Chains A and B, each alone.
Chain A
Amino acid sequence: MKKISLLCLMLLLSFTLMACSAEESGTDDKGGEAAVGGELQVAYNAQPPTLDPLLTTAVATRDVMRHVYETLVTVNQKFEVKPMLAKSYEVSEDGKIITFELRDGIKFHNGEEMLPEDVVASMNRWKESTTLGKSYFADAVFSSSGEKTVVLEMKQPLSTALAMLADPGQAAIITPKEINEAATEQGITEYIGTGPYKFVEWKTDQYVHLEKFSDYQSLDSESSGLAGKKEGFVDDIYFQFVTDASTRLSGIQTGEYDIANAIPFDNAEQLEANEDVVNHIDHNGFNGLVFNKKAGFFADVIARQAVNAALDEEEILMASFTNENFYELEHGLMIKDQVEWYSEAGKDQYNQNDPEKAKQLLEEAGYNGEEIVILASRDYEDHYNAAVVVQQQLEKIGMKTKLDVYDWATVLQRRADEKAYDIFVTGFPTEPIPAKYVFLDSANQWPGWTNSPEMDQLLDQINTASSQEEAQEYFAQLQEEFYNYLPMIKFGNKTTITSTRSNIEGMGFLQGVTLWNVQKK
């Protein structure tokens, strides 16, 4: 008996020891319960691969770090360019020079004042590391002039230059000069910006902790999108990375989280029944199928038109989003809010649902029963559900299809292999300018391999247009050509559901949530 109790004691002792070591390698206190002290617990559905927005197009990085960083110019809810760190800007007559007047007394989170040198260093890193920077600003020069001025000089006029500098994805963030200089291929290691919240800590796979920046200099103009007034009300924001949807769902129901994003469409009703929870439905880009235009059957434009004629978009969207409140039948690449761009062109080609015409086109394209491989990932249930319906609809017009389902990382790799597929299903965010849609420009060599001199030329004409009206005119032609060439087929606009507790007020949404101006009542 004595030995047994000795054994028990030993076991207990070793457990205690192990627990102690667990303590050492564990995590820091998250600051107690969510209800105390004005802190916001946000259940976010994806992990950021890095916190340097210039390195990745991943939305998790963009959504978290937009609270920390700011840009010279930004976009409002209608994707119009508005000044942020620039007090004003001026475009020269020939469109080649843009002069930015910086705002006074802007402080970085480390207490230093923002100087033109910081802006120049930041813009140089942006132009060297981002897709937009490399494609459009490679031979542009940023320079400081005087105390408060930064000048951008370009070899050619670029009408969309400001919109590119305002783009929320891979945003042209302004950080101190020395941080830009210390940046390596792995990006920056210190996250210092000018935004209303400062970065405190990133526990990989757990959370990013942001804290209110007390020296933040807010604009007074009306708050809209990423522009205008930004006020930090809550002291702390925790982006908790909760990849499991059912956990986000239960957590928002019990109040464990104040905000939960990417709520599955199936569960929206369940939350609506709960009076402590409010669902916010926001426009969130679109889904579509992208053709492999380099190899296989869909290298032929007639074949792509056959598929476009066959599809019943309503059925596809319903399968993806379960409820007509969560999608919108819409042909346009630019949304209606983007009044400076929106166009009716190509509308007659959208959502034809005409199997007879499809069969004819199929015959014309010389379809001889080869197997069509559709690539999709179940990591995004809406992609997968759409792919299943597309498959059925193609079978209906007599095509032989195969659905290849992989995890997202595998899809990303396989879609880059021209021999691996004919169609892949994916989603796109709302972009501020047409050029950002990667499937339009042949030069991108983006999976699917668009190769259309007509569209390339129209993109060039948009970029060099002398006025927005002219650019919009070219865009209408581009959209017409898009529906003719069909690099991809847009299913329709989609939404995303973000749920908040009913005591949360002031949350905004532009591509992702904005949490400045949020009050916890």
Chain B
Amino acid sequence: MKGYILKRLLSLIPVLFVVAVVVFLIIHITPGDPASVMLGPEASPREVAELREELGLNLPLYQQFTSWLAGVVQGDFGWSIFMNEPVLQSFFSHLGPTLSLAIFAQLLAVVLAIPFGVIAAKRRGTIIDQTFMGGSLIGISVPSFLLGLLLILLFAVQLRWLPVAGYKPLDAGFFLHIRYLILPAIALGAMQAALIARMTRSSMLDILNANYIKTARSKGLKEKIIIYKHALRNAFIPILTVIGQTFGTLVAGAAVVETVFNIPGIGQLIVNSVERRDFAVIQGTILLVAISYVLINLVVDLLYGVIDPRVRLNRK
């Protein structure tokens, strides 16, 4: 097991190297530089040139890349020009809101999607099944920013049940914290819920036709036990894969949702940093997000073993 984890962790290195190179190149090939953004639109070209020199932006690209990479290897992800602090610090100070949002969105998605998926599978072909699956199609197709704006319009502007935007940290109180996260979490989690529901349904359908389910039925087990103990558990591996993958994409979706709802998370950090060309922050944050994405996938793989003993046996 340890060897397996180690191997997986080592295989991260080439992936992250490629990410680092690509991110670095994209950012530096894109026009726009932090010096002119920082000094404002009426700054003279001389001042911009001076600041560029100070910030080391006039060095050759390969030199900027190697010095950045050398830092990263030692755990130094660079220095944010705009926030005047290490990139790692910016990253962690923005991580809380994104994590809260992603977890809440994922919880909402799982809690809604699995029962819906199971019910749809059980009542396959009925109007309930069709309604759920139709709904999930909408969930997949509607972009999160549109859903977010519609939710704001209905629940915040018209009904005034929930705040329009903003973020309250957990230490401002749990319920206040959640209140501000409900709408963004729905906007962000809708697509996840739809994907998970569809996967649950199809996976359950396969299982429900298996012989051991027929056996269970014929020996008179209660339907509830059949569904939740025998069927769902065996159907869970593909569902878990989807959950793991979607958790990763939540971070990407957060960039949009956080902007609409003005939540100071990683997504907004990336968007703002791109706008002001804070190179070190963009590079560092994307690299850190890539690392967490790969690690989440690793955790999901390990969870297979928890759910399905056969996976564990195979690995020995």
Contacts and interface: CB of A to CB of B under 8 A. Distances in A.
A22 B97 contact: yes
Nearest to B42: A57
A139 to B, nearest CB: 18
B32 A412 contact: yes
B99 interface: yes
Nearest to B268: A205
Contact of A58 (B40, B100, B307): B40
Given A49-B82, A205-B268, A57 B43 contact: yes
B157 A26 contact: no
Nearest to B97: A26
B99 A18 contact: yes
Interface stretch (A115-123, A340-348, A443-451): A443-451
B39 A414 contact: no
Given A1-B229, A25-B95, A413 B33 contact: yes
Contact of B45 (A50, A58, A253, A447): A447
Q: How large is the interface on B (under 10, 10 to 19, 20 to 34, 35 or more residues)?
A: 35 or more
Interface string B69-87: 0000000000000111000
B38 A407 contact: no
B209 interface: no
B171 A26 contact: yes
A204 B83 contact: yes
Contacts of B171: 23, 26, 28-29
Contacts, number: 181
Contacts of A379: 275
A61 B229 CA distance: 60
Nearest to B225: A1
B164 A256 contact: yes
B37 A412 contact: yes
Interface string B41-74: 1111111100000100000000000000000000
Contact of A204 (B54, B82, B96, B259): B82
Nearest to A427: B41
Contacts of A447: 45
Nearest to B102: A18
B261 interface: yes
B interface secondary structure, majority? helix
Q: Residue among B92, B103, B165, B306 with the most chain A CB within 10 A?
A: B165
Nearest to B101: A22
B123 interface: no
B141 interface: no
A247 B164 CA distance: 7
B269 interface: yes
Q: Which of B41, B46, B47 has the most CB of A within 10 A?
A: B41
A451 to B, nearest CB: 14
Contacts of A56: 38-40, 43
A415 to B, nearest CB: 9
A59 B103 CA distance: 37
A19 B33 contact: no
A253 B163 CA distance: 11
Contacts of A55: 38-39
B100 A22 contact: yes
B42 A204 contact: no
B36 interface: yes
B169 A47 contact: no
B154 to A, nearest CB: 11
A59 B31 CA distance: 23
B59 to A, nearest CB: 17
B15 to A, nearest CB: 24
A264 to B, nearest CB: 14
B103 to A, nearest CB: 6
Given A246-B149, A250-B157, A413-B33, A23 B170 contact: yes
A40 to B, nearest CB: 15
A416 B260 contact: no
B38 A50 contact: yes
A426 B41 contact: yes
Contacts of B45: 416, 445-447
Interface in A156-186: 169, 185-186
A155 B273 CA distance: 44
B38 to A, nearest CB: 5
Given A203-B264, A254-B157, A57 B40 contact: yes
Interface string A43-86: 00001011000011111010000000000000000000000000
A204 B264 CA distance: 9
A328 B44 CA distance: 29
Interface in A1-39: 1, 3-4, 7, 15, 18-30
Contacts of A438: 42, 44
Contacts of B42: 57, 131, 169, 428, 438, 446
A27 B39 contact: no
Interface of A: 1, 3-4, 7, 15, 18-30, 47, 49-50, 55-59, 61, 131, 169, 185-186, 189, 203-206, 240, 242-244, 246-247, 250-251, 253-254, 256, 379, 406-410, 412-414, 416, 426, 428, 438, 444-447
Please name the 6 residue pairs, one residue from A and one from B, whose CB atoms are nearest each other, closest first. Answer: A57-B40, A26-B169, A409-B32, A22-B96, A23-B170, A26-B96
